[in-house]
Amino acid sequence: MRRRPAVTVSAALAAAALVFTAGCSSDGGGAGGAAGSASPTSEGSSTPSASPSPAPAKGSAKVTGTVATGLDTPWGLAPLSGGDLLVSSRDSGKILRVDAGSGKKTEAGTVPGVAAEGEGGLLGIAVPDDGEKMIYAYLTTASDNRIVRMLYSPDRPAGKQLGAVDTVLRGIPRGTIHNGGRIAFGPDGDLYAGTGDSGREGLSQDRDSLGGKILRMTEDGEPAKGNPDPGSVVYSWGHRNVQGLAWDAQGRLWASEFGQHTWDELNLIEKGGNYGWPEAEGRDGSGGEFTAPVEQWRTDQASPSGIAVAKGSVWMAGLRGERLWRIPLDGARPAADPQAFLEGEYGRLRTVVATDDGDLWVVTSETDGRGSPDGDDDRILRLEVS
């Protein structure tokens, strides 16, 4: 039985305000952090800030409050500048606004065209730095996965705050499994997306397919300047199912990836990198031909979804593993062995997002058909980390 927190919503938030799957590991059953002080360039990287000291070998993670409860299949999380949060519901196709102080939920609207099946539905969401007038969403339709955008008008009545859908990118392969789904704006201002092989392994090495890739594009869905192929949005390939994207303070892109039977991965993403799937899983068989992961886990310990970078570490949500992993960094490599937190306490963990003050929001995933929800699931937690 999972232990539930004794912290009340109102008391915990008041205190926080003061300091402000099976063996396949295919979803166990996917918002990354901002890049800190890095300055964007046109080549998909950043001008590094001064290299920080290595993160301590041991850190901490403490739940300081429950921001919201009773969420239906939450997947994506997008913070707004005032502190409120937008959260997507995979199965209903709805986007909710959550008041970070009271936990009050307001329906922004339902994204049309969502065809929820298996691991597909309304997945990641992202808000560009444009005055928060637009919401981008990654969704599964009856024919494909695609990225769309909608005007967001929070002053309109609840349920009617989303404008007409404008398709940014279509044609990402869909399936009942391995739909990827995480989208995030990088420090260069471009939009990145993690996709999956949709259960068809050969797509990951097919440079003409959008499946099993990390994609990089402009806000309008055009190939970003500096991509490996100037005519393609493909940024890296050889991925099985990418559901976590985040940048560190030096502008390096990190991604989490589901393994099959043996190894889940944390990868440091390089432009034009081939990460090996289906020829290699984890460090096994990577040799010199493929880029090996920075860290790897047995699939029952992770099945990783979202990641964030905070306090010099990558924080990775585990679905089947039901825990939050901390990977302390020393530049582009681990500073020490990963640490696990919240093991079995809140069930499956889907999304991790860094707060403005370097702590975390964590979204649980117990109502996705593979968990064991109780009356409060699913929820958004606030964590203080070091």
Q: What is the pLDDT along the chain (386 residues), one digit of tens a residue?
A: 344 443 333 333 333 333 333 334 445 543 444 333 333 333 444 445 566 899 999 999 999 999 999 999 999 999 999 999 999 999 999 999 999 999 999 999 999 999 999 999 999 999 998 889 999 999 999 999 999 999 999 999 999 999 999 999 999 999 999 999 999 999 999 999 999 999 999 999 999 999 999 999 999 999 999 999 999 999 999 999 999 999 999 999 999 999 998 999 999 999 999 999 999 999 986 667 899 999 999 999 999 999 999 999 999 999 999 999 999 999 999 999 999 999 999 999 999 999 999 999 999 999 999 999 999 999 999 999 99
How distant is the alpha carbon of residue 194 from its chain centre? 9
Flag whether 2 is in a domain: no
Q: Are 247 and 309 in contact (CB under 8 A)?
A: yes
Distance CA 153, CA 224 (A): 28
What pLDDT is attached to residue 360? Answer: 98
Flag whether 30 is in a domain: yes
Omega of the bond prior to 79 within 30 degrees of 0, cis? no
Flag whether 156 is in a domain: yes
Flag whether 1 is in a domain: no
Burial (Cβ within 10 Å: 0-12, 13-18, ≥19) of residue 18:
exposed
Residue with tokens 């039901």: 322
Flag whether 26 is in a domain: yes
**For residue 249, what is the enclosing H or E element?**
none
What pLDDT is attached to residue 50? Answer: 62
Task: Report the number of distinct structural domains present in the chain.
Answer: 1
Flag whether 4 is in a domain: no
* Enclosing domain of residue 44: 9-385
Distance CA 331, CA 53 (A): 8
What pLDDT is attached to residue 285? Answer: 66
Flag whether 76 is in a domain: yes
Flag whether 3 is in a domain: no
Distance CA 302, CA 349 (A): 10
**CATH classification at residue 209:** 2.120.10.30
- Residue 146: name the closest of 177, 188, 109, 114 by CA: 114
- Residue 170: name the closest of 228, 210, 122 by CA: 210
DSSP label of 196:
B
